């Protein structure tokens, strides 16, 4: 049966009604060829980290069902790709309107199934709405270029065509937004999509698929434009090995991304990888401390430290170090930890008990390496913290050379690092990790800001000035370098990865001159 769970802390939300509004049953089918759903004997149990209770189960895709999904997507592509792009944009616009109507329900489900705060859950659905709006405009701007030919009476130009099936593998921490970043753009580009949501948040995926299926049915469109499969890594492996899927977009750990890249690369497919981050915020002598504290605290504890853009390292100039340390300690004392559906709380639970173990191991490791714990951690217990996944955010003084500091721990652990001398020293510390996703600097010094953004500055895909490392807008391309994978999603010209480029040359004369002046007389 469903869990009829009314939150007990300053809020009254009936999860059963939320699930009913999203048309989720206790026995959910996890394989979809569009509007048609298929069942199997194997199940994923969705457990809420909010209270440790089972929400529902979702069926796992079988190998035969996978073949049915790919066949449905392939068939849909032949029709979808020839529909004019602005008309495809209209379908995405309708999807965005459906999301507006379902925002409260879907945002609540995100919060309940994944554990992020309700405000962040609602914000994630707003990201979906925003990328739909972006994609609608993009549907009339899939521009190529015109070029001058070196040959008389010739014209050259380039255009973009759809790729085909886009396989999407998403992570638990953003169980709906990252899928929409890919699908909204892929759909207006003329692609069809097959999505494998995280097995840690499968209900969010089922809910989204049911919403888009309604839109496709209302418009009498092929159901295979949006398909879903569910399961563990072995199900995702079917996608990555499938030569019928020209592009794989994968979000997750660097370890997972390397496996995907190798598998897709062997068959010369394309991969879009958005992987781990070990993000740093540099605090210079000219920083505004009040802004610094707000940016650092949200970056470190938002989503309980489970964002790929979470702030993990704070690199502080020695002249500001004690002031920043004291301000952060005071701020952490004001944090409220608890039920994420209670909007007065700042921090919810980690996703599961494995995440809790990783959190505890990281704390032990930094102490073993000689670090000093400024704000103590630990697992919270009692009636206010059911399920065993609520933990205390931690601040630890550390050295940049500590092994644990070099790694990404998906938990609210912030390493406080000190730098001396010039900004170049801080930038060197920041860049001296394998990951390269997000970075930021707090300074009112124009020269420092420009240096940070220059070729000699941050080596990350995202570099911010006077804001934190997390909280990217959909208008900019999102992604990073090095072990972050090099992929770009969402805004700017990220749409080009979902299309194939074609160069065209047209001869409208009566002669056939060759390029480079080559003569070939018969």
Quick one: DSSP state of residue 452?
H
End-to-end CA distance of the chain: 81
- Nearest one of 239, 230, 228 to 201, comparing CA atoms: 230
Angle at which helix 254-266 crosses helix 233-241, to 10 degrees, equals 30
Active site residue 208: no
Record the tokens describing residue 5, joined without a space.
């769970």
Record the tokens describing residue 194, joined without a space.
């097959």
Cα–Cα dist 461/368, whole Å: 32
Place of tokens 């392939």: 74
Report, in angstroms and rounded to the nearest whole number, the Rg of the chain calculated over CA atoms: 25
Handedness of CA 420, 393, 275, 213 (dihedral sign): negative
Query: Which residues does 396 contact at the CB level (< 8 Å), separation at least 6?
Result: 363, 366, 367, 371, 372, 373, 374, 413, 414, 415, 416
Report in angstroms the alpha-carbon separations of 149 from 143, 146, 264, 506, 507.
19, 10, 36, 10, 10
- Nearest one of 427, 428, 429, 459 to 443, comparing CA atoms: 427
Place of tokens 């979809």: 32
| From 120, 127, 274, 448, the catalytic residue | 274
Our CA angle for 290, 295, 298, nearest 5°, is 120
Record the tokens describing residue 391, joined without a space.
């933990």
Give me the phi and psi of 227, to 5 degrees please. Answer: -125, 165
| From 308, 389, 460, 489, the catalytic residue | 308
Give me the phi and psi of 350, to 5 degrees please. Answer: -70, 165
Q: Is 501 helix (H, G, I), strand (E, B) or coil?
A: strand
Cα–Cα dist 98/356, whole Å: 36
Name beta bridge partners: 315.
282, 417
Active site residue 274: yes
DSSP string for residues in 110-136: HHHHH---HHHHHHHHHHHHHHHHHHH
Neighbours of 318 (CB within 10 A): 11
Place of tokens 């490392």: 469
Exposure string over 395-432, b if 16+ CB within 10 A, otherwise e? bbbbebebebbebbbbbbbbbbbbbeeebeebbebbee
Cα–Cα dist 432/319, whole Å: 22
Catalytic residues: 274, 308
């Amino acid at each position: 049966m469903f869990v009829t769970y009314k939150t007990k802390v300053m809020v009254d939300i009936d999860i059963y009604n939320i699930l009913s509004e999203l048309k989720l049953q206790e026995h959910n089918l996890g394989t979809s060829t569009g509007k048609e759903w298929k069942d199997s004997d194997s199940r994923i149990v969705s457990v809420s980290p909010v209270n440790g209770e089972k929400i529902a189960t979702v069926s796992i895709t079988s190998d035969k069902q996978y073949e049915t999904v790919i066949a449905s997507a392939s068939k849909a592509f032949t029709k979808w790709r020839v529909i004019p792009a602005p008309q495809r944009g209209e379908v995405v616009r309708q999807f965005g309107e459906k999301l507006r109507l379902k925002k409260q329900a879907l945002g609540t489900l995100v919060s309940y199934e994944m554990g992020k705060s309700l405000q962040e859950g609602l914000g994630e659905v707003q990201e979906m709405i925003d990328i739909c709006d972006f994609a609608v405009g993009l549907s009339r701007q899939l521009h190529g270029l015109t070029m001058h030919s070196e040959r008389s009476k010739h014209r050259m130009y380039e255009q973009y065509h759809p790729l085909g099936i886009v396989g999407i593998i998403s992570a638990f921490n953003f169980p709906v937004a990252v899928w929409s970043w890919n699908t909204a753009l892929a759909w207006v580009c003329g692609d069809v999509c097959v999505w494998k949501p995280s097995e840690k948040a499968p209900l969010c995926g089922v809910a989204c698929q049911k919403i888009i299926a309604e839109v496709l049915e209302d418009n009498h469109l092929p159901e295979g434009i949006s398909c879903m499969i569910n399961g563990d890594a072995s199900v995702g492996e079917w996608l990555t090995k499938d030569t019928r899927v020209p592009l794989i977009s994968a979000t997750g750990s660097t370890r997972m991304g390397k496996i995907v890249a190798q598998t897709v690369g062997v068959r010369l497919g394309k991969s879009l990888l958005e992987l781990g981050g070990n993000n740093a915020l540099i605090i210079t002598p000219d920083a505004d401390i009040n802004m610094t504290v707000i940016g650092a605290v949200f970056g470190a504890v938002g989503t309980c430290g489970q964002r790929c853009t979470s702030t993990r390292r704070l690199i502080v100039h020695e002249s500001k170090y004690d002031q920043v340390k004291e301000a952060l300690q005071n701020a952490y004392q004001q944090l409220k930890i608890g039920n994420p559906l209670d909007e007065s709380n700042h921090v919810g639970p980690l996703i599961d008990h494995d995440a809790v173990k990783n959190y505890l191991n990281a704390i032990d490791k930094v102490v073993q390496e000689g670090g000093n714990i400024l704000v103590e951690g630990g697992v919270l217990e009692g009636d206010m913290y059911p399920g065993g996944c609520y933990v205390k955010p931690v601040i630890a003084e550390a050295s940049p050379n500590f092994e644990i500091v070099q790694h990404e721990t998906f938990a609210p652990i912030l390493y406080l690092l000190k730098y001396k001398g010039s900004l170049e020293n801080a930038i060197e510390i920041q860049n001296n990790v394998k990951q390269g996703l997000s970075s930021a600097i707090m300074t009112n010094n124009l020269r420092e800001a420009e240096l940070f953004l220059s070729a000699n500055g941050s080596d990350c895909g995202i570099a911010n000035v006077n804001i934190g490392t997390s909280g990217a807008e959909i208008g900019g391309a999102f992604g990073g370098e090095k072990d972050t994978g090099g992929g770009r999603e969402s805004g700017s010209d990220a749409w080009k990865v979902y299309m194939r480029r074609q160069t065209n040359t047209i001869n409208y004369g009566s002669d056939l001159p060759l390029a480079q002046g080559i003569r070939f007389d018969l």
